[in-house]
Each structure stands twice: as structure tokens, then as C-alpha cells.
Amino acid sequence: MPKPKHISDGSQSPLLEEHHHNNSSHDKPKPPLVKYGELVILGYNGSLPPGDRGRRRSKFVLYKRATANGVKRSKHYVVKTPHSSQAILDSNQHSISYTLSRTQAIIVEYMPDENTDMFQIGRSSESPIDFVVMDTVPGLGEKGSENKVLASTISRFACRILADRTNPHIVRIYAAGFDSSCNIFLGEKATKWQDSGEIDGLTTNGVLIMHPQSATSLHSQNAPSLGSDQQVAHDWNEVSVGGGIFKLRESRSAQQKGEAKTNVTNVLQDGTLIDLCGATLLWRSAEGLAKSPTKDYLEELVDKVNAGRPVCPVGLNTLVIPRKSGLDNEKQQPYVYLNCGHVQGHHSWGQEKDSNERCCPMCLKRGRVAKLSMGLEPAFYVDSGPPTLFAFNPCGHMATEKTVKYWTSVLIPHGTNGFNIFCPFCATLLEGYPGYIRLIFN
Ligand SMILES: [Zn+2]
Ligand SMILES: [Zn+2]
């Protein structure tokens, strides 16, 4: 039996492996793979806690497929009983059924589109789902346990993405995905409407997207400066089953759709966030990733700080930032005082009774202490900044200045009706102002 490939750095997609496998019997040289981009779940630091497995992983790379599998809208018609209509019964015919009443439904048939590749995302492990996404549990990222969510809010067939095979920069997102029988059903209660002869609708919890704002986009020269109070105003919108863009509903699953927005498209941009209600994905385009730091670069950054041989001011022992999570040596493990940024080793000096707070031996400021660990998921980085490191408060994940500023400026849906800022490496809600601290090594 072949050894299962349990651990992966996520840089290889199962599709890539399939692709190569299919070609292995030919002698023809393999054409270079065209990469559309990557989808990365916020809250994981390079892989899922138990390791990436098959279609369950922390990120998914979208490559041009060997053969197109996209579909496009063709005809539509009214039926009385959708479940017994030919398009629904034919499990090779893609169709979307919009139930209007107990006795009336509109079926929209979809036909093969040789110009697009389709990728589907959702909680289901059925084969039409390319990227299986479960609810994110904050702070679980590195503790090695499986996340167990009893009541998931993520749809089993949450969304689909269609990439243009002739112009790989055009990658569009749509709410809802086709099930194993190539159907999408919008029940009687789902929000739907007809507009100039075409029907469209929304899924229960919806798919929200936010394109990067020009002032704070990834790689922007004018990322918000230190101490500025520039949190990006909510510019989240909802994408419909047909790919239209709408303002947010009054509440996540309200019956009434938001107002149509004609100046926003469903074409993903480098840095677009996609919220599935329970997990948030970041889209990185192939070009955007080419400008981002690599994992090797981030490990070198850690080495540079370690080469300075930082010392604990109390124990006088040398501190070593672990290059990989889970490899920490408690004697050398650095901790940060979240109120002042002083980095020290593990000791009990300044520990207050019945309190999580400590008094910093360097500056006597009181505050909580967090174990430091490097943010190693390159897709979350905004720049390849100098080795001046910052840490998120309260989780202690380290990143570059622009990166911590970027993520503390982006409000992300939290629960079903709120927005918040959180650490992209572990999904912990950020605390205090500004939500990060500059590290001071000794
Ligand atoms: Zn201090
Ligand atoms: Zn974190």
C-alpha cells in the first residue's frame, strides 16, 4: 500500500498531483502549469493542525485544468415539480432549481463551457468539492487537535469559482456549488428574484466578499501608518448564485436582499476576502504571490533575529525563536510582554497573585505575557519587510510591521452579525489598541 501523504506544506494541490499522474504514461514533456492563484483559510499558520489531508487543507492552489470543466447558463423554463424534471434527474446535466412555490419552480440549465475551469468549495467531502472547508476555531491553529464544531454555519456546497482559461487573471466567484448530481436547489424560503427575465438568488448564510481597498491593499505603498486609526470601513458585499453583487442584508440570513451594486464585480483581486460564515478565505493571485515573501525568507528572518542572540534579562539565558511551530524548547522559548513589547524568557518574576498580569522587569509596566511564535504562512504577508518584528496581541504571532498593520485594519465578519479584527495565523480576536506590539529584544 502506498504511504499516505499526510503532511504537506500546502504548496502542492491534489489537482497538481492528479495532473502529473495522468500524464506520467506519456513521453511528451509536461507543459508548465498555469496557476490562477491560491485560496488560504484565515486562522492557520501554514497547514491544518493535524496536517493537510487531500482536499482538507489550509490552502488550495488553483491550477489550469488539463481539460475545461466549467459550465455556463443556457436555457431556463418553469416546471411544476422540479424533483421529477429531466434536468434534475439527469446527473450529468448541471442545473439550478429555484423553487417559487409548492407547485412552481424555475430551472436554469447549464452547459459545458470550454473557456472556464470550475473549482468548488464547501463543507461537504463529496467529490464535486475541490476544497473542503470546515468552521475555523480561534486559537486552535497550533494545538494539534481537530476542530469539532457541533453546529456548522458553512454550507456543504458553499461557493464555486470559475477561472477563465484564456485569461487567467479573470477568476469569478458565485454563491452555491453543484452537488454530486450536478444540481443546486434553492428552496421556497431562499431569497430569489427575477430581473430582466433572469432569475437569481442568495444562499442561506450567503457568501460575502470584500475586495482590497486601494489605501490598504496588499503591497500598497501607503499602508496605514503606525498609530493611525484607519480601520477599513466595511466594504463587504454579498455575491449571488448568478454572480451579482449586492449590499449586505440587514442580518446574515435575512429574507430581503441588499441593494444591487453595479460598480463592484465578482472578479477576485489579489487580497479579496471571501466569507463563508464560519471560515474566511483570502484570495491571492499568482502575480500577487510572486511579489510576496517565501517561506524560506520568513525562516531566514527568524534566523536573523536568533543570530543576534537575544537574552532574557532575568534568567540571562539565550532565547531562540522556534523556526517551526511545535518545536519550542521551553528553556529558550521567548515571551513578550504585550503592553511594552519587551521579550524575555520563562520566569516567575513579577507574577501577580490571582491575575494574568505581570510586571515587566525592564520597564515595570504591567500587562499580559504571550509565547512568541513566527507567522509562517507567506500568503498573509504584505511585504518582505526588515527584521523588525511585531507581535499580535494577545496570541503572540510575529510578523512584519506592514503585515500586522494590514490585518489590524481589516474588519472581518465574526459570528453571524458582527465584524472584528483577528490574527490571520490563528483567528484569535485581537485585543487592546492597536492590536499589536513592536518587539524589543535584549
Ligand atoms: Zn517592559
Ligand atoms: Zn495569532
Ligand nearest to the CA of 442: 1
Q: Is residue 395 part of a domain?
A: yes
Domain identity same for 313 and 238 = no
Q: Which of 264, 290, 316 is the last residue of a domain?
A: 290
Q: State the distance from the centre of ligand 1 to the C-alpha of 262, rounded, in angstroms.
A: 51
Q: Which of 290, 305, 336 is the last residue of a domain?
A: 290
pTM comes to 0.88
Domain identity same for 144 and 278 = yes
210, burial (CB in 10 Å: exposed 0-12, middle 13-18, buried 19+): buried
Q: Is residue 6 part of a domain?
A: no
Q: Band of the pLDDT at 36, cuts 50, 70, 90?
A: very high
**For the chain, what is the domain count?**
2
Task: Give the integer Cα–Cα distance in Å for 182 and 128.
Answer: 8
Q: Is residue 12 part of a domain?
A: no
Residues, CB within 5 angstroms of ligand 2 (ion): 395, 397, 423, 425-426, 428
- Whether 228 shows a pLDDT value over 60: the answer reads no
Q: Is residue 44 part of a domain?
A: yes
pLDDT of residue 19: 44
Residue 151 CA, chain-centre distance (Å), reads 20
Q: State the distance from the centre of ligand 2 to the C-alpha of 382, rounded, in angstroms.
A: 16
Task: Give the integer Cα–Cα distance in Å for 49 and 140.
Answer: 7
* pLDDT tens digits for range 255-268: 999 999 999 999 99
Q: Which of 290, 315, 332 is the last residue of a domain?
A: 290
Domain identity same for 261 and 114 = yes
* pLDDT tens digits for range 40-51: 999 999 999 888
Q: State the distance from the centre of ligand 2 to the C-alpha of 138, rounded, in angstroms.
A: 9
Q: Is residue 9 part of a domain?
A: no
**How far does the chain reach from its first CA to its final CA, in angstroms?**
52
Q: Is residue 20 part of a domain?
A: no
* pLDDT tens digits for range 368-417: 999 999 999 999 999 887 778 999 999 999 999 999 999 999 999 987 77
Domain identity same for 121 and 178 = yes
Residue 54 CA, chain-centre distance (Å), reads 17
334: Cβ contacts below 8 Å, ≥ 6 apart: 310, 312, 319, 320, 321, 343, 344, 345, 371, 372
Give me the mean pLDDT over the 82-91 stretch: 86
Q: State the distance from the centre of ligand 2 to the C-alpha of 391, rounded, in angstroms.
A: 8
Rounded mean pLDDT of the chain? 86
Q: Band of the pLDDT at 360, cuts 50, 70, 90?
A: very high
pLDDT of residue 10: 41
Q: For residue 243, which of 259, 264, 258 has the smallest C-alpha distance?
A: 264
Domain identity same for 163 and 281 = yes
Ligand nearest to the CA of 350: 1
Q: Is residue 29 part of a domain?
A: no
Domain identity same for 212 and 78 = yes
Q: State the distance from the centre of ligand 1 to the C-alpha of 371, rounded, in angstroms.
A: 15
- Whether 11 shows a pLDDT value over 50: the answer reads no
Name the residue range of residue 410's domain. Answer: 295-438
Question: What is the arrangement of strands in the sheet containing 104-113, beginning at the earlier edge strand?
Answer: 70-79, 104-113, 94-101, 183-186
Ligand nearest to the CA of 337: 1
Ligand nearest to the CA of 394: 2
Domain identity same for 286 and 300 = no
172: Cβ contacts below 8 Å, ≥ 6 apart: 161, 162, 163, 243, 265, 266, 267, 268
Ligand nearest to the CA of 358: 1
Domain identity same for 238 and 375 = no
- Whether 1 shows a pLDDT value over 50: the answer reads no
- Whether 32 shows a pLDDT value over 50: the answer reads yes
Domain identity same for 286 and 303 = no
Domain identity same for 196 and 324 = no
Query: Number of C-alpha atoms within 13 angstroms, CB side, residue 373?
Result: 22
Domain identity same for 341 and 398 = yes
Domain identity same for 339 and 389 = yes
Lowest mean per-residue pLDDT among 60-64, 190-194, 294-298, 328-332? 328-332
Residue with cell 456546497: 157
Q: Band of the pLDDT at 310, cuts 50, 70, 90?
A: very high
